[in-house]
Amino acid sequence: MAVLNKIRQRSLVLILVIAMALFAFVIGDLFKNSDALTGGSQDVVATINGKDINRVDFQQKVKNYQDRSGGRQTSTQSMNVIYNQELRKIILESEFETLGLSVEKDEMRDLLKNSFSSYPEFQDANGIFDVNRLNAYISNLKDISPEVSTLTTGGQPISVNYEVWTNNEQNIAANAIQQTYYNMIKAGISTTISEAEDDYFGDAKTVDMRYVQLPYTSIADSLVKVSKSEISSYIKEHKEKYEVDESREVVYVEFKEEASKADEDEIKAGLLALKNDRLEYNESSKNTDTIPGFSSTDNLEEFINSNSDIKYNDAFLRNAQLPAVAKDTLLNLNSGEYYGPYKDGEYFKLSKVIDAKQLADSVKVRHILIPYIGGTRADATVTKTPEEAKTTADSILAKIKSGTKFLDLLELSSDKVSNEKEGVIEFDYNAGMAPEFKAFAFDNKKGDVEVVGTSFGYHIIEILEQKSFNKAIKIATLADKIEPSEETLSQVFNDMSKFEIAAKGGDFNALAKERELAVKPITFKELDENIPGLGSQREVVRWAFDEDTDIGDFKNFPVSGFGFIVAKLVEKNEEGLMSVEDASITAIPEIRIEKKAKMIRDKITATSIDEIAKNNAQSPRTAAAVTIKNTTLSGAGVEPKVVGAAFGLAQGVTSKPIDGEKGVYVIEVTKVNEATKLDNYQAIMNRLNTERKAAVQNKVYQALEKAADIEDNRAKTVY
């Protein structure tokens, strides 16, 4: 009781202590997340030219995009697509607002007419676009919102509500403004006669030359030392090549959840056990029943489907359709004989040959195609429904069977390509034909004629010839997927856990070497997600960029369908210039070339091509009809500096040493082949204008994006 009384007496102190602790916790979290103090919102994905991309709206657009793509895009890929769309939209809108570009009412009316004049709902009795019908339709959509109405496009009905309609109008207006903007820029693009002349002479004027190449390889790399200070200076002189984004360097080891040899042996033993009958106690009858095995079952299909990870296939299989690892053996077995267990990809299989026969490998058929609306490659002239197309095909078949010649009905076919060959098509079994078409042609006999439905429509097919007959077999195959046992999975987890524990006080690389684990390096940027061979591993990237993750920290990550990795952060690289160590991979070879070029130039004392070649154990070479546009030098490769220098020399003049791509060159122009001036350069000017206007759209946007004020918060808000 005394203790309780003391607690009651000091309750105010306790309350104050608890309150202070909570306050410290909240304040600490606020400082940790500075956005809460500075007003920066975690709901802003990015700010472009002062306009925010809201996180909730952004994520909804990402979800809609993923739904449309049918899950073929990862969440990060989808976010990147939507971000780029929003970025482009805001940048262009900012430019349009600055220029005062907009779509006025009369222009919008014309745009809507151009977009919807073919819709029957907006046409009068004469098929002429009626703006009053359009206005009435829009007014009705607004009144019934959010309910939908129907429009007909391409013969197909589509559902539209007022929100969809207004979004479509906005897109039409935005596209019109964008087109106006780019047209204004294109209108200011032109080519001068001087530019056209330069382009013409770039192909037409040529030079012949002699040259000697003193290759950089003539000096061993070991003779050219490169210091860290030289690398540092080179980086500063070539900043554009060595500017890097913020990144993290991580190493990791893999713990794969894969079947052990013992697991595989157990799977093979299980397949072999299924060959024999087994005894099983029946709870209902209180008797021991004999369950037929693979060798004695009367219903192979049911047995396979009940005991195999791959369903029964009742078809005869040709050589190319059989498992590559087993086809030679299987084709040599007699009916009733077994092969296996054998490993085929991710399965162990036990196969039994059921039957064999000779099947054709190629066929010749002729057909008549009746397409329907919505069928593959069906054009706008197709009006039949699937039911109507089937009825038409059946009536054609009836006429053929009653004596009408096949060729007399070819005009009814929509396959104009085969019609030119009397409807005949020849193809091998491996050809990419519609499955139903192929099955009829190969599985039936010469002379058979029938209606066959495919995604293209309904075909009336007659088999004219089957040839190249080879053995095909029907097999029943028990397949068991190769998967690790629970014992193996536990062992993998234990191995991973032991590695983590050991790594806390040991050397990551040394521990991996002891366990024969490969240490794999990878560098991440903040918005990356993929690890080669492991797919999307966004959690690893988030961890690597977390402000609480320090160099030397490590963590395990489960990888779906794979197992685990243990990753270690080894380096944090800030945005800016690459470090000397990282840049040295590309900088050292470039610096060596510069040094070698100077060493080679310093050795040149002669002034003629022949003397220089002789003094350096090289042979003079020639190059004829060299053009300024083609920088490939015969016998040397691509050498733009050398070719450019040749066009700056007069005939008979020898150059000073030129530092090329593969060596130091000295050249002599032996002949200048002047081109005849054209009377008119208009055709070249027109071509250059077209080329420049075609490229302007992309180049203009790139310039606008480069000039835009962009604050990208994706990594902190949605990634």
> Of 330, 304, 305, nearest to 317 (Cα)?
330
- Alpha-carbon distance of 519 to 538, in angstroms, equals 20
Burial (Cβ within 10 Å: 0-12, 13-18, ≥19) of residue 608:
middle
Q: Which pLDDT value is given to residue 276? A: 93
- Alpha-carbon distance of 568 to 556, in angstroms, equals 9
Whether 359 and 442 have beta carbons less than 8 Å apart is answered as: yes
Residue/partner pairs of 163-166 with CB below 8 Å, 24 or more apart: 165/138, 165/141
Whether 182 and 101 have beta carbons less than 8 Å apart is answered as: no
- Alpha-carbon distance of 520 to 251, in angstroms, equals 5
From residue 399, how far is each of 50, 201, 393, 422, 462 by CA, in Å? 73, 70, 10, 18, 13
Count of beta carbons in the 10 Å neighbourhood of residue 699: 11
Count of beta carbons in the 10 Å neighbourhood of residue 163: 12
Count of beta carbons in the 10 Å neighbourhood of residue 719: 20
Whether 134 and 117 have beta carbons less than 8 Å apart is answered as: no
Count of beta carbons in the 10 Å neighbourhood of residue 491: 15
Q: Which pLDDT value is given to residue 3? A: 35
What type of residue is 401?
A: K
- Alpha-carbon distance of 393 to 368, in angstroms, equals 8
Residues in the chain where the model's pLDDT stays below 50: 1-19, 21-40
- The continuous run of DSSP H or E covering 282 comes out as strand 278-282
Q: Which pLDDT value is given to residue 24? A: 47
Residue with tokens 């200011």: 188
What type of residue is 643?
A: V
Q: How far is CA 612 from the centre of its chain?
A: 52
Which 8-state DSSP code applies to residue 531?
E
- Alpha-carbon distance of 180 to 182, in angstroms, equals 6
Q: What is the pLDDT of residues 299-342, one digit of tens each?
A: 999 999 999 999 999 889 988 889 999 999 999 999 999 999 99
- Alpha-carbon distance of 13 to 238, in angstroms, equals 65
- Alpha-carbon distance of 16 to 30, in angstroms, equals 21
From residue 421, how far is each of 106, 408, 410, 415, 416 by CA, in Å? 54, 13, 10, 11, 9
What type of residue is 281?
A: Y
Supply 189's token pair. 């693009």
Whether 650 and 671 have beta carbons less than 8 Å apart is answered as: no
Supply 660's token pair. 């090329």
Supply 495's token pair. 């191995």
Supply 549's token pair. 């993750």
| Domain 260-482 of CATH type 3.10.50.40 | yes
As a CATH number, domain 247-258+484-574 is 3.10.50
Q: Which pLDDT value is given to residue 510? A: 96
Q: Say whether 512 sits in a helix, a strand or coil.
A: helix
Q: Say whether 429 sits in a helix, a strand or coil.
A: coil
Residue with tokens 């190059």: 623
Whether 65 and 41 have beta carbons less than 8 Å apart is answered as: no
Omega cis (within 30) before 532 = no
- Alpha-carbon distance of 623 to 213, in angstroms, equals 12
Which 8-state DSSP code applies to residue 324?
T
Q: Which pLDDT value is given to residue 371? A: 94
Contacts of residue 350, Cβ cutoff 8 Å, sequence gap at least 6: 271, 272, 274, 275, 294, 338, 339, 340, 341, 342, 477, 478
* Concatenated DSSP letters of 30-66: HHHSTHHHH---TTEEEEETTEEEEHHHHHHHHHHHH
> Of 253, 258, 260, nearest to 557 (Cα)?
253
Q: How far is CA 277 from the centre of its chain?
A: 51
> Of 369, 353, 358, nearest to 414 (Cα)?
369
pTM, two decimals, is 0.64
Q: Where do the DSSP E strands lie in 390-448?
A: 424-428
Q: Which CATH class is domain 206-216+584-673?
A: alpha beta
What type of residue is 515?
A: R
Query: Helix 580-603 vs helix 228-237: angle between axes, to the nearest 10 degrees?
Result: 90
Residue with tokens 């969440």: 75
Residue/partner pairs of 121-130 with CB below 8 Å, 24 or more apart: 121/151, 121/152
3-state helix, strand, coil in the chain (%, to 5): 45, 25, 30
- Alpha-carbon distance of 378 to 457, in angstroms, equals 9
H-type helices in 433-563, by residue range? 435-443, 486-503, 508-514, 538-545
Q: Say whether 449 sits in a helix, a strand or coil.
A: strand
- Alpha-carbon distance of 579 to 243, in angstroms, equals 10
Q: Do β-strands 530-531 and 156-160 pair in parallel, antiparallel, or remain unpaired?
A: unpaired
Q: Which pLDDT value is given to residue 27? A: 42
Contacts of residue 544, Cβ cutoff 8 Å, sequence gap at least 6: 248, 250, 524, 567, 569
